[in-house]
């Protein structure tokens, strides 16, 4: 287990257009797509790195040109206006719900790079005249693993935008909207194929991480094999598509007391009730084992929503262990699972032996 730290892997590249994505200035005449830029976009998309645009340009003309080059689907939340590019970069981070320190900005103009760097010193600012060649070989552009969830990341965001549009136009209560999604949550012990994604979740998820700790692949594999631990993976699906593996829980399952060492969820499911459902499932498993249930919590600057999740689920303060706050849940009565969600809970005994590590 290692202390929480920001991953060095870039999550999204924000592209300038004129003299960066293409040669030439759009408002002055014809432009030509730079083949090395198109190749980098497609290669990095395969690695789960997202792309967006920050350009001072005519939006309609720019989007028409992007479409002509066949790149529309690659750019999420493009910001094309005459506003400062620092504001455009900020909007992109907000829309994608990712830390601004996980963005890279590539532009040919020193002034634009300095303006973004001054406002957001955490953003990596790259010179398209120098850094475009070899972009895909930079260490921060190389996630450790290429998981299926990574390869689908852009599609998942596009599905999320469809959900958001449906929610904005939905007439009814929030719970009625959730019921309309037809959500199915699968909670199961981790198998070999889950471990790369599990590492990625601990490395990338800080806001909805109960202890802020990260685990690498080898640590997770050892915990997955350990008879003294239960490593659970949650996967969510609805009528718009597959969210992928969006939750992780690590339980130390002592004979008298189970301790929830880690609970985390992707920010994309913050409003879906996944945390409560996952906690209910862990309660059920602990009660069936005849054990009490405690949870460790380490407050950080970003994970207050997890504290609220514990308290909302009926966990009460039960002491301190160093910097960790201990919560405990009375298992005499376990709350029902959310009625708007179909929860499929899988036990370790139900999994094929060949799927388990070791």
CA distance 274 to 181: 14
CA distance 117 to 115: 6
**Total number of domains in the chain:** 2
110-119 vs 85-96: helix axis angle to the nearest 10?
A: 50
My answer on whether 184 and 100 are in the same domain is: no
My answer on whether 101 and 184 are in the same domain is: no
The vertex-252 CA angle with 250 and 254, nearest 5°, equals: 155
CA distance 101 to 135: 18
Q: Give the pLDDT score at 54.
A: 98
- Find out whether 270 and 208 touch, Cβ atoms under 8 Å: yes
**pTM for the structure as a whole:** 0.79
Write out pLDDT tens, residues 251-310.
999 889 999 999 998 877 878 889 999 999 999 999 999 999 999 999 887 888 888 899
Residue count of the chain, please give it: 358
My answer on whether 111 and 198 are in the same domain is: no
Measuring CA to CA, which residue among 312, 286, 285, 307 is closest to residue 297?
307
My answer on whether 211 and 336 are in the same domain is: yes
Q: Give the pLDDT score at 56.
A: 97
**Which residues touch 213 (CB under 8 Å, ≥6 apart)?**
1, 2, 3, 4, 202, 262, 298
Domain-embedded: residue 66: yes
Question: In b/e form, how buried is each residue of 286-295, taking b as 16+ CB within 10 angstroms?
Answer: bbeeebbbbb
Residue 107's SS3 state is: strand
Write out pLDDT tens, residues 8-48.
689 999 999 999 999 999 999 999 999 999 999 999 999 99
My answer on whether 129 and 187 are in the same domain is: no
Q: Give the pLDDT score at 7.
A: 45
Q: Give the pLDDT score at 3.
A: 30
- Find out whether 76 and 52 touch, Cβ atoms under 8 Å: yes
Q: Which CATH number characterizes residue 24's domain?
A: 3.40.50.1000
Q: Which CATH number characterizes residue 330's domain?
A: 3.40.630.30
- Find out whether 247 and 266 touch, Cβ atoms under 8 Å: yes
Q: Give the pLDDT score at 350.
A: 66
Q: Give the pLDDT score at 6.
A: 38
Name residues of the chain where pLDDT drops below 50: 1-7, 354, 357-358
Domain-embedded: residue 169: no
């Amino acid at each position: 287990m290692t202390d929480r730290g920001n991953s060095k892997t870039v999550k999204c590249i924000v592209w300038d257009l004129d003299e960066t994505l293409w040669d030439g200035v759009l408002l002055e005449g014809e432009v030509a797509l730079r083949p090395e830029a198109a190749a980098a976009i497609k290669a990095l998309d395969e690695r789960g790195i997202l792309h967006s645009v920050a350009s001072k340009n005519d939006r309609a003309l720019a989007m028409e040109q992007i479409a002509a080059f066949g790149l529309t689907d690659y750019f999420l939340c493009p910001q094309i206006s005459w506003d400062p590019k620092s504001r455009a970069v900020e909007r992109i981070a907000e829309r994608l719900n990712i830390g601004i320190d996980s963005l890279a900005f590539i532009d040919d103009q020193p002034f634009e790079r300095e303006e973004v760097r001054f406002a957001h010193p955490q953003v990596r600012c790259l010179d398209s005249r120098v850094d475009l060649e070899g972009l895909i070989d930079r260490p921060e552009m190389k996630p450790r693993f290429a998981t299926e969830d990574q390869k689908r990341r852009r599609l998942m965001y596009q599905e999320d935008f469809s959900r958001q549009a449906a929610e904005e136009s939905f007439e009814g209560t929030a719970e009625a909207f959730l019921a309309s999604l037809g959500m199915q949550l699968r909670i199961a012990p981790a198998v070999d194929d889950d471990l790369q994604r599990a590492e990625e979740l601990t490395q990338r998820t800080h806001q909805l991480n109960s202890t802020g700790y990260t685990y690498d692949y080898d640590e997770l594999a050892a915990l997955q094999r350990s008879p003294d631990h239960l490593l659970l993976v949650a996967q969510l699906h609805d009528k718009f598509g597959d969210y992928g593996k969006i939750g992780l829980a690590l339980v130390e399952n002592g004979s008298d007391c189970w301790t929830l060492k880690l609970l985390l969820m992707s920010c994309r499911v913050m409003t879906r009730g996944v945390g409560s459902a996952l906690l209910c499932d862990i309660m059920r498993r602990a009660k069936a084992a005849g054990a009490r249930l405690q949870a460790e919590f380490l407050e950080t600057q970003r994970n207050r929503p997890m504290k609220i999740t514990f308290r909302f689920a009926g966990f009460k303060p039960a002491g301190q262990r160093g910097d960790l706050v201990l919560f405990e849940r009375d298992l005499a009565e376990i709350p029902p699972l959310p009625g708007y969600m179909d929860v499929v809970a899988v036990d370790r005994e139900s999994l094929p032996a060949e799927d388990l590590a070791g």
